[in-house]
Each structure stands twice: as C-alpha cells, then as structure tokens.
C-alpha cells in the first residue's frame, strides 16, 4: 500500500501505543499525513506523524483540534479503556468512564469530522471496537456494552452518510498483544491461557493458535480505509483468529 494514502490527512485516536500506534505508523508509511492523538505523551519516528494531546471525552477540545487540522479524509477511532469486574461490584465511575472514552469519544470525533466529509462527498470513518461487542464476556460487561454501542453508532452513521460517498466500518479485534492485554495477565501463563480459552467463563480459545500483533489489526484498518474497499460500508470485520466462532 505504498503511497496509497498520499494527499490524505488521517486522524487517529489512542495513538500513543498498541493498535493506535500501529495504525498511525502504517498510515504514515503509506503516504498519509497523520494527526496522532492521545491523552498521553507520544513518541513517533515518522516525519508524517504529528502527535497531538487530546482527551476524546472533551467535546470542545475535539472541535478545536478538528478545526485546526484542515480537511480530514480518514478518521480512525482507536482510543479505549478497560475496566474489569462483575456487574454487581462495578462502580458508577467505572461504567461512566468506560462509556465516556469508548463510546462518547467515538461520537465526538465522528460528529466533528463528518460535515466536512459530506461537503467533499468523500471520507472514511473506521472504529476499532472489540470482538467483545458481539460475544458476551464475563467480567467485561461495561467494556463489551460500550464497544457494542460504538459498533452500532458507526453503522448507523454509515447509513446516514452513504449517499454522500462517505464510508463507515468497524474492526473488532480479539486478544492482541498490547499493554491493555498484558495488564490482564497475572503471570507468565497469560498468553497460554488466552490461547486455551476458559470453559468456566464460557470463553473459547483462539483456533489459529496465536495472539494478534497490533500490526494485524492495523492491516485490516488500512484495507477498509483504502480504495480496495471502496464498495464496503457498515461492515464489521473481526480480526481475532477465529476466537468468536462467528457464522
């Protein structure tokens, strides 16, 4: 995909690490000017990447960043947080924080960029959600619900803007080797446990026998953003090695 995004300004949220950093790097390598946003400090080596501090829950800050960025041809919503725990002990703050980033943040960014895309009759919005959006996960109710909401929001937006030539899709990763994933591993058996699954929590393993790298998810994002996917919209692409056994 060398130079396929030349002339495109892309905005990526959650770009400081993990999947967001991989997406920003691959887009930059493919010729895009990348506005890489995160609420944490970022370190990127590519000259096409412009790091910007942004909290996606702050609607005013989002509007200011979009206003200063110039025409944005591609938005990739990656920013997300994970708060674990059974529903009976989940705090109001954990629930609110999860939705503020994982769902409302997607709304803030998408609402800010879509008028310009409609006016130009061109643009792509991709939301990186999770396979938990389509399969229940014990101890992950807030996360799963927030990601399911983000998926349906993105598809509904896609229906509204399709007649204007704007495409909206979602990518749903499974277990991926990121800081978020590693934070759930209590010891060195973490990766093996993910591959095996856990029947007691009704969770299957990964049929392909490997945990995804952030680049695997980024490649799916780049495909859906590219002209090769010009007739794909409102699609939900699972990148999880078969972990959800979807029909």
Give CA separation, 119 vs 1, 29, 242, 245, in Å: 27, 28, 39, 40
CB atoms within 10 A of CB 207: 13
DSSP-derived secondary structure for 112-124 = HHHHHHHHHT-EE
Phi, psi for 165 (deg, rounded to 5) = 80, 15
Active-site residue, selected from the candidate residues 5, 99, 143, 153: 143
CB atoms within 10 A of CB 29: 17
Examine the residue annotation and report whether 202 is marked as an active-site residue of this protein. no
The residues annotated with a catalytic role in the active site are 143
């Amino acid at each position: 995909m060398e130079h396929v995004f030349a002339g495109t300004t892309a905005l990526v949220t959650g770009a400081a690490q993990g999947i967001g950093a991989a997406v920003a790097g691959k887009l930059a390598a493919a010729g895009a000017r990348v506005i890489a946003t995160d609420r944490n400090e970022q370190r990127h080596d590519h000259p096409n990447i412009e790091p910007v501090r942004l909290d996606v829950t702050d609607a005013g800050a989002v509007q200011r960043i979009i206003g200063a960025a110039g025409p944005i041809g591609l938005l990739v919503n990656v920013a997300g947080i994970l708060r674990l725990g059974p529903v009976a002990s989940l705090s109001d703050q954990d629930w609110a924080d999860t939705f503020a980033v994982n769902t409302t943040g997607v709304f803030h960014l998408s609402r800010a960029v879509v008028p310009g895309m409609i006016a130009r009759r061109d643009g792509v919005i991709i939301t990186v959600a999770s396979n938990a959006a389509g399969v229940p996960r014990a101890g992950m109710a807030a996360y799963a619900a927030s990601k399911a909401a983000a998926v349906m929001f993105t598809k509904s937006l896609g229906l509204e803007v399709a007649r204007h030539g704007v495409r909206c899709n979602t990518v749903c990763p499974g277990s991926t080797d990121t800081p978020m994933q590693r934070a759930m591993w209590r010891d060195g058996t973490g990766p093996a446990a993910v591959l095996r699954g856990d029947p007691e929590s009704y969770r299957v393993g990964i049929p392909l026998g490997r945990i995804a790298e952030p680049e695997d998810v980024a490649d799916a994002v780049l495909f859906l953003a590219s002209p090769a996917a010009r007739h794909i919209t409102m699609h939900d692409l699972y990148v999880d090695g078969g972990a959800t056994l979807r029909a």
